[in-house]
Chain A
Amino acid sequence: GAVVSQHPSRVICKSGTSVKIECRSLDFQATTMFWYRQFPKQSLMLMATSNEGSKATYEQGVEKDKFLINHASLTLSTLTVTSAHPEDSSFYICSARLTGGSGNTIYFGEGSWLTVV
């Protein structure tokens, strides 16, 4: 299947700083990418949908000024957690939609662990 890669896989940052997570579609172009957050022993929660060249659409309850999403190219979306706090510590997962074919399959990255200390 298609490959989606995230970087970094793990990051530790100090409280109050910002951290950026990258999501790349390695072998296909993705006009639409998605960001999820997952807390331990819980399911994935959709944070936002990003479309290349336009503003992201955030889910209710997700602060767009805190979680900045940029989708500047067809193969790269970034999530920046600004002024991070310990409660932002979580597993962040991106996905990208492979258009065309049957059903437009969505592929997920490996996830990025964020720990805010």
Chain B
Amino acid sequence: DAKTTQPNSMESNEEEPVHLPCNHSTISGTDYIHWYRQLPSQGPEYVIHGLTSNVNNRMASLAIAEDRKSSTLILHRATLRDAAVYYCILRRGNDMRFGAGTRLTVKP
């Protein structure tokens, strides 16, 4: 199964944009890129997903490199409620496995 690499932790200031990187150099053509986030003692929350093109929704934007070997989740204006562990996952069919994720801290 294709793996992803994310920084262990990142910090951001409130009201500023945050760019969370993810490397997935072994991605295959049928793998979807999914992002979830998890607050303590809660199940993961869906954030966004894409295949080849950049995607935008009310929560975030997903920028996918042209070769698809990396992607970036963009939170346009971080709030304190965005502090969480963010997981970048490659999904192939029903196969979706979590890596360690990036712990985002948002400073007021």
Q: Is the interface of A mostly helix, strand, loop or mixed?
A: strand
Rounded to whole Å, the gap between the CB of A34 and the closest CB of chain B is 7
Which of B32, B43, B97, B100 meets A103, CB within 8 Å? B32
For the complex, count residues of A whose C-beta is within 8 A of B.
Answer: 26
Query: CA separation between A73 and B46, bound complex, in Å?
Result: 24
Q: Mark B26-46, 1 if CB is under 8 A from A, else 0.
A: 000000101010000111111
A110 to B42, Cβ gap below 8 A?
Answer: yes
Which of A43, A49, A105 meets B46, CB within 8 Å? A105
| With A43-B100, A43-B101, A103-B51 as contacts: A49 and B94 at CB distance below 8 Å | yes
* B17, CB-defined interface residue at 8 Å: no
Q: Mark A83-117, 1 if CB is under 8 A from B, else 0.
A: 00000000101010100001111111111010000
B residues sitting closer than 8 Å to A (CB atoms) are: 32, 34, 36, 41-46, 49-51, 87, 91, 94, 96-101
A residues sitting closer than 8 Å to B (CB atoms) are: 1, 4, 6, 32, 34, 36, 43-46, 49, 91, 93, 95, 97, 102-111, 113
